[in-house]
Each structure stands twice: as C-alpha cells, then as structure tokens.
Amino acid sequence: MLAVLFAVLARRPREWPVFLAITVPALLVHLGLDLMTASGVQPWFPVSETRYAVPLLFPVDPWMMCIGMAAAILAWRRPALARWSAMAAFAAAAGYLVLLGQWRDQALSVGAGMAAQRSLGDATVKAFPQPFSPRNWQVLVAHGEAYDLAWVKVAAAGDAPGEADPGMAPGSGSDAPAASTGLRVGEPTLPRSVLSTVRGAYRPPTGLQWMHVVRFGDDGGRAEFARTAWSRPEFGAFRRFSVYTVLSHVEYRTDVRQVCAWFYDARFALPGVSPSYRFGSCQHMDERTWTVQRSPGPLPLL
C-alpha cells in the first residue's frame, strides 16, 4: 500500500516495485529499532498481546541519530558515495549495538548480583536504557509483587566493572531509601534543575542506592482500592501497555469529590523526578463512575 501510494505521489505509478524495494526494508528497520526499546513491539496485536523487546536503545538515542544523519547528509552532498555511506552507517550502527549489548550485560550482572545477595531465587532481572549516556541503565529486579530499582552507570570499555554494593539494599543503612510507592531516589540536598538531577543520579555499581517499591503499595486499605481501580474496564488500555506496574499514590480530591489511584510503569521511571507516564483510575463519588486521567511529569519527552 505504501509503495503504491509513494509511486502515485511521485507520478510514477508503474514503477511501484521500485518503491516497494525501498519501503519494505525501511519498515523492517523501523520495526527492529522499536524492538530494541523498552516498549518493544506487539506484532500480532490485536490477535495476540504478546510483547517482544530487547531493550538496547533509549527512544531518543543521539549516537544512533548522528550515524543516520551523517549518512543521509553525505549521500545528499555526494550522490556518488550514497551506497558507501549507507554501508558505513549500517556497519557503525551494528558496532554501536554490540557495544550497547555489552553494557546491558554489565547492568544485568549488577541486578543478578543483588538478587543473589538477597537470596531472591525467583527474581527476574531486567535492564533498560536511559537518557544522556549509553552507559546509563536502569536495573529492575522483580520478585513477587515487589520491584527493586537502581540507576547505574556501567564501566566504559577497558574499565574493570565494579561489583554492586550489597550494603545498599533497601533498608540497609541510613543512606538507603525506605520502601515506598513513589520515586524518592537520590534527591539532591541543593536545588538543581530537573535535568541535572536526573543526569547526576546514575552511579557506578559500587555506590548504588536501591529503591524498593510494591506493585499496589504496602498500605492495606489503599492497596485494596488500588487493586479495584487497576481492574476497572476503563483502565484496560494502560493495563495492556504497562508491564511493571507500580502504584504511585492514592489521591483524595475533595473539591471534585473523586478518589484516584495513580500508577506508572517502572520501565520508564527516572531517578529523582516524578514519572512522566503516570495514569490515574479515578472514581467519582457522586455519580459512582470511573474515568482515566493522566498526570504529566517534569520530563514528558523522557
């Protein structure tokens, strides 16, 4: 369909096979790049909601963008070198992905070490790319209905990767954050910009702070309401999207007489700031109806 559309727009309808040879690889590359983000892809939706993901790339990766832009500019300015610029771009992108895979393995080893230290035999360890540097990773250790999160800056090529500090597990020591349902990690003592707060929160494995969160919170009454709010049919779209759901908080708004349970997906949590993808399942006390609301965070593009 796209090939025919492009051929018609270019006023060359009989040459649609040429456009097909361009659009098919472009769509496959797009699908592959989506596969390498934290969101992943659902290629069989709506027949199946199975999600596939190999998280290597942050959605806005400046290095991958620079590789593509450099190849495009070179092909535009020097058409005779277009083929060579494309081949060089693919080679550079492949090398970069290999490097990302090595850094991801380092992040996963940090989580595996933490799980072994705490004897979490049924734990699942995930690592998700983060902004500002390809060496920044979020490590997520899921066990039961609880998650432990840390934001790590892995070792560069040639550096010896450090071991995670077992003493920084949740609740151990005065510097470790207590278990909570919100994001309160590495809060700076001096006021800084939001971007500086996030950028400076990624630490080497030897100095990590782990944040412990519970899926529906650890308060009995609020957890019961959160489960009810989560299971509402109006909240179905977010349930399909979210993989590692965390209750942010329960909000009582007397001015509009509603109660909201706010949730976010831990995959997209950033250190020291409120989540940007936070959605609320809200019960209106007067009409006894439910609606879905969104609360934008300080970094909506991240």
pLDDT given at position 170: 35
What's the chain's average pLDDT?
83
Asked if the model's pLDDT at residue 289 lies above 60, the reply is yes
- Name the one residue in this structure whose structure tokens are 């070490």: 113
- CA–chain centroid gap for 124, Å, is 16
The 10s digit of each residue's pLDDT in 252-261 is: 888 888 999 9
B/e letters for 27-55, b = 16+ CB within 10 Å, e = fewer, are eeeeeebbbbbbbbbbeeeeeeeebebeb
Sheet of strand 289-295: strand arrangement: 245-253, 258-265, 278-284, 289-295
Q: How far apart are CA 132 and CA 113, in angstroms?
A: 25
Q: Is the pLDDT of residue 88 over 90?
A: yes
pLDDT above 80: residue 19: no
Q: Are 214 and 146 in contact (CB under 8 A)?
A: yes
Give the mean pLDDT of 174-186: 37
Of the ranges 18-32, 231-245, 264-278, 288-302, which is most confident?
A: 231-245
pTM (2 d.p.): 0.80
State mean pLDDT over 68-85: 91
Interval 218-228: pLDDT, tens: 887 789 999 99
Q: Whats the size of the chain, residue-wise? A: 302
